[in-house]
């Protein structure tokens, strides 16, 4: 006899590229979550119309439309795919209503979450989880893979460059460039394990559009075993690829002797060590977004993984 487990209900704030891709991913791939409502602010937006064509309820009344929806009390997880500024408002209202939020903006109201690095039971109980940025989801796992393979506190610095197709950067992304760089840099340290971090985003205008490419530079005092570090990186790539199949190494990690000058601390002596360079590509799954929009796909894929675990594991929020 086969038993069917009732799916948890999800609401999605934001009817742009990311919100629409989340709706499609939930419908096509999730055995845990069902998209109950897509929330936008324009009645005839392309995203809301597409959701309706797929049988998903919509509202164009923003967060108020969600809060006043007759089934709002049944919602288990709210994904926010709007903007950092909007989420600051949304987070407060959702917390007051006892709803768990998975934040795909750089607002960083809640703790940073990179599924393969720090998604444990304690984090799953948080009322608000921040998905950092697309660049963070792609590169922080690599920084962590370096940190776990070298002696404690010897990963002095991590710098990442995320290059994405200009066509994949919508108004929300462009409005949040400063938040992107700040949030990613902070998470390289607090989640990835680097002593200092720096993030750069490049909007590539090439036509036809190219897939997301990321470069990760890590400076460590010493690499006693390059083979072990390479294996740590390769294992992490496989872990990420389990939910982002288009995530891959372009080539084996590169090791160079280098001299590190601590940023903003020019009075300190330079440190001799090893620079590790990792080149990545992220191709999207093509559920709704084009395959070259890997930067958006890695965000929705990571958020879906988190949302499903929250739906399965997390208990109700305390009043």
Angle between helices 17-29 and 294-313 (to 10 degrees): 50
**Strand bridging mode 75-80 / 33-39:** unpaired
SS3 110: coil
Confidence at 137, pLDDT banded by 50, 70, 90 = very high
Paired with 155 in beta bridges are 220
Inter-residue contact 33 to 307 (CB < 8 Å): yes
Domain segments of the chain: what residues?
8-132+298-313, 134-291
- Is the predicted pLDDT of residue 199 greater than 60, yes or no? yes
Please pick, among 113, 134, 189, 218, the residue that the annotation labels catalytic.
Answer: 134
pLDDT digits (tens, 9 = 90+) for 233-270: 999 999 999 999 999 999 999 999 988 876 665 666 78
Looking at residue 112, the DSSP 8-state letter turns out to be B
How far is 278 from 218, CA to CA, in rounded Å?
A: 9
- Phi, psi (5° rounding) for residue 102? -110, 110
How far is 180 from 110, CA to CA, in rounded Å?
A: 15
How far is 17 from 56, CA to CA, in rounded Å?
A: 16
Confidence at 90, pLDDT banded by 50, 70, 90 = very high
SS3 309: helix
Q: Which two tokens stand for residue 120?
A: 């444990």
Strand order in the sheet with 33-39: 57-59, 33-39, 8-13, 75-80, 100-103, 128-130
Looking at residue 260, what is its pLDDT?
83
Longest alpha-carbon distance in the chain: 72
Looking at residue 210, what is its pLDDT?
96
Q: Which two tokens stand for residue 171?
A: 């108004």
- Is the predicted pLDDT of residue 155 greater than 70, yes or no? yes
Q: How far is CA 137 from the centre of its chain?
A: 4
Looking at residue 192, what is its pLDDT?
98
Angle (CA) 95-98-101 rounded to 5° is 60
Q: Is 251 exposed, middle or buried (0-12, 13-18, 19+ CB in 10 A)?
A: exposed
Residue located via tokens 């768990």 = 100
Kindly state the average pLDDT of the residues 210-235: 95
- Is the predicted pLDDT of residue 295 greater than 50, yes or no? yes
**Domain 8-132+298-313 CATH (choose: 2.60.40.10, 1.10.3720.10, 3.40.50.720, 3.30.465.10):** 3.40.50.720
Looking at residue 318, what is its pLDDT?
60
Could you check whether the bond before residue 208 is cis, i.e. omega within 30 degrees of 0? yes
SS3 189: helix
Looking at residue 4, what is its pLDDT?
59
| Topology of domain 134-291, CATH | Dihydrodipicolinate Reductase; domain 2 (3.30.360)
User: Among 33-42, 108-117, 148-157, 209-218, whose mean pLDDT is lowest?
Assistant: 148-157
Looking at residue 96, what is its pLDDT?
96
Kindly state the average pLDDT of the residues 48-67: 98
Confidence at 1, pLDDT banded by 50, 70, 90 = very low
Distances (CA, A) of 262 to 142, 154, 157, 182, 272: 21, 13, 8, 18, 11
Average pLDDT, the chain: 93
Residue located via tokens 């680097």 = 194
How far is 39 from 59, CA to CA, in rounded Å?
A: 5
Note if 134 is an active site residue: yes
Looking at residue 222, what is its pLDDT?
84
Beta strands in the chain (DSSP E): 8-13, 33-39, 57-59, 75-80, 100-103, 128-130, 155-165, 196-204, 212-220, 247-249, 254-260, 271-282
pTM, entire model: 0.93
Confidence at 78, pLDDT banded by 50, 70, 90 = very high
């Amino acid at each position: 006899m086969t038993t069917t487990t009732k799916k948890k209900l999800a609401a999605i704030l934001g009817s742009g590229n990311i919100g629409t891709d989340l709706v499609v991913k939930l419908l096509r791939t999730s055995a845990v979550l069902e998209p109950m409502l897509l929330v936008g602010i324009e009645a005839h937006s392309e995203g809301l119309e597409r959701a309706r064509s797929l049988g998903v309820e919509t509202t164009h009344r923003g967060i108020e439309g969600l809060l006043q929806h007759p089934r709002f009390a049944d919602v288990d997880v709210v994904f926010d795919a709007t903007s950092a500024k909007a989420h600051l408002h949304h987070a407060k209202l959702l917390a007051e209503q006892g709803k768990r939020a998975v934040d795909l903006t750089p607002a960083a109201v809640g703790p940073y979450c990179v599924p393969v690095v720090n998604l444990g039971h304690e984090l799953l109980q948080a009322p608000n989880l921040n998905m950092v940025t697309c660049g963070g989801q792609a590169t922080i796992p690599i920084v962590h893979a370096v940190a776990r393979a070298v002696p404690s506190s010897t990963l002095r610095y991590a710098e990442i460059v995320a290059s994405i197709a200009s066509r994949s950067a919508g108004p929300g992304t462009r409005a949040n460039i400063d938040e992107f760089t700040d949030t990613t840099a902070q998470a390289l340290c607090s989640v990835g394990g680097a002593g200092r971090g720096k993030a750069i985003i490049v909007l590539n205008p090439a036509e036809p559009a190219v897939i997301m490419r990321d470069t990760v530079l890590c400076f460590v005092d010493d690499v006693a075993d390059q083979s072990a570090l390479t294996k740590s990186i390769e294992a992490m790539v496989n872990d990420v690829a389990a939910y982002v199949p288009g995530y891959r190494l372009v080539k084996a990690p590169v090791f160079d002797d280098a001299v590190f000058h601590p940023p903003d601390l020019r009075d300190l002596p330079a440190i001799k060590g090893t620079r590790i360079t990792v080149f990545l590509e992220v191709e999207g799954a093509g559920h709704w977004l084009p395959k070259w929009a890997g930067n958006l796909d890695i965000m929705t894929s990571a958020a879906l993984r988190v949302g499903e675990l929250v739906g399965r594991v997390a208990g109700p929020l305390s009043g």
